[in-house]
Amino acid sequence: MSEPQALFDVLRHSADPKAADAIERLVASGSDRALCRLNVLDFARANGLDEERAIAAFLHASRLGIFDMSWNLLCPGCGGVLEAGATLKCLEHDTYDCALCSAGYEPTLDEMVEVTFTVSPRVRKIIGHDPDALSFTEYCRQYFWGTGIDLPDNLEQHLDEFTIEALELPAGEKAIVSIQLPAEFVIVFDPVTHATQFIDVQGEPTRERQTLPLVFNDVKAQTGTVTMHPGPLRIAFDNQSGRRVLPGIWIANDALHQMLGRRKPFLTAKRLLTNQTFRDIYRTDTMDVDQRLKITSLTFLFTDLKGSTQLYERVGDLAAYDLVRHHFRVLNEIVAAETGAVVKTIGDAVMATFPTPDRALAAALRMRDAMQTINAARGSEDLLLKIGIHEGPCLAVTLNDRQDYFGQTVNMAARVQSLASTRAIFATGAIVEDAASSKILASSGLHPVQQRAALRGISDEMLVYEIP
């Protein structure tokens, strides 16, 4: 048996077999392009797979060495990849600049960091393992633009609609390109170094030859704007970088903007950090201990068992311990099924995260029902679960050798949980006013009751909702 076959046998035992089979077929017969920086959500849709099972399968495949995982920082404007690395540790700066958009951004994990997968060279060699061997079109597709841009299969034809010229310039070489400047805004852009030169073409046409020198290096991507007249232009390219560059001369027309405006879902860092399989497999491998990465919206769910001390006294340590462990297993299964992840347990309490409020609410309702089912089977009220939910911004951090979260949103979610009784779920307006959450409440026939509450450590009273 070959090494790849042995790896896929292991994958089938650790991940969903249907997803593992689809991955094996892709590796065996998929195109090189399809195996470079793969969009897992696209893969799941094309193969009729549940997204969460597909994500889990690729995480296991990455851990086995079948695929290499890449965390790519994206420009929210053009969708270009500004930075890439094997973990979030590659994000080392507070702000990032996109030369093509001429804008700076503070990185967040919601929609600015994607996670992609490339087949390992030990399993199958593809041309994408050597980016310098890719054509201009394929380099733009596979390495410059992120997987959230819905690029057409006939990308080269679309590029022709706004490209005046494109060339390949090896390291250390020079080239001169003569073009006729149209009376439109022109961009000279290299997707390798991200060097960008804007040409604001205006005024009366000229017959005199205009010149423009452009230098590529490994220190800083050149960027700037010059004003020129419509007419002949000679661009002198000088590649002083250590690798080949691929400068293209583009017209900033509707065709360019329409192509960049075509977007599709992709696997975000936020979603992966709230995935239970990811937390189980990777634990502390993702971030440095001193990193503080922003998430603009994350939903936190806290639970706690009421009267657990009395429970130990009532049924004895051994029985109570087994019952509490059973309760943890049930909660973990529900959290994972609702696309969430358990961050940690504290005594008899659970802290979990979800990418959206509706998934946390659905999990809370399922948890409440599950505890009632266990209690009914035992003929007692031993498991009395208090639940609180809140959504908002936070920081992803590493605490006590594990990936954790910090901020006022986390504190408020914990305080909201402390308001909960043994039956009601308490949530903030950010949860119950969410459109998807409202549908869940309506379909369940539940009517949240609004009330004002003082939360410990929070200066002002706030509106909370009791879900009976």
Domain coordinates in residue numbering, the chain: 3-151, 163-252, 284-467
| Span 293-308, average pLDDT | 90
Res 309: pLDDT: 64
| Span 334-352, average pLDDT | 93
Res 321: pLDDT: 79
The SS3 assignment for 23 reads helix
> Cα–chain-centroid distance for residue 467?
31
pLDDT at 1 over 60: no
pTM above the 0.75 mark?
yes
The amino acid occupying position 75 is C
Structure tokens at 287: 């971030």
Structure tokens at 439: 């549908």
The SS3 assignment for 303 reads strand
Q: Are 311 and 382 in contact (CB under 8 A)?
A: yes
Q: How far is CA 343 from CA 115, 269, 340, 447, in A?
A: 20, 15, 9, 29
**Model confidence over 314-324: pLDDT tens digits?**
777 777 777 88
Distance CA 59, CA 65 (A): 10
Res 338: pLDDT: 96
Contacts of 217 by beta carbon, 8 Å cutoff, 6+ apart: 193, 240, 241
When the candidates are 3.40.50.960, 3.20.20.100, 3.40.640.10, 3.30.70.1230, the CATH number that belongs to 284-467 is 3.30.70.1230
The SS3 assignment for 56 reads helix
Q: Are 457 and 411 in contact (CB under 8 A)?
A: yes
Looking at residue 455, what DSSP letter applies?
A: P
Tokens 């109570």, residue located: 320
Tokens 């996670």, residue located: 115
N-to-C CA span, the chain: 58
**Model confidence over 175-216: pLDDT tens digits?**
999 999 999 999 999 999 999 999 999 999 999 999 999 999
